[in-house]
Structure 1
Amino acid sequence: CAIDELRGAFSKRRQVGASEYAYISFLTVSQRRTLFMHARLTEKEFNQPYWRINEESCYWRDALFRALRELFSLFEYAPTILTSVKPEQYLH
């Protein structure tokens, strides 16, 4: 399932000891695309070599790192089982 793939890709446990650049280099193309799209970057940035994030002149680097931290946070507590039950149905 796509959610499981993303949960596995953006697990904080996977990041331990890896720099942001190294971490991004380990992502698959589809996972890296998810990261770039979450950062609201375009195909133009996605198609550039990702090693450019090591350059200070890389204008999309901060957005990419912010998106990476957001995805780590988002998937840290993502539920294992997704249901179609609306929250108001089980909060009462």
Structure 2
Amino acid sequence: MKFDTKAYLEKLEHYARSYVDINDYILDDKNKDEIEQRILYVLNEAFEEIKLKLDEMNENLEYKEKLEKNAEQESANAYASRIRKR
């Protein structure tokens, strides 16, 4: 599954703009606090999702690098074995 970084950044930008708009237009402090909490919750969820995806991508990259290193080592071992047989 490909991680769509651009889509998440656009989503975060949308919520950030909403936050600014809310601060500009809401006068009722009680209502404003509740809405701020909702926005902060959504932003936190988005950041957590991004973090999980980045961690997953990092693990996949580390695994791929390990496989490549093992393949290189096996190839080197096979080559050395052929040379020894000569």
Report if TM-score (shorter chain) is over 0.5. Answer: no
Larger Rg: 2
Bigger relative contact order, structure 1 or 2 (CA pairs below 8 A, ≥6 apart): 1
With the shorter chain as reference, the TM-score category is: 0.3 to 0.5
- Provide TM-score, normalisation by structure 2: 0.36
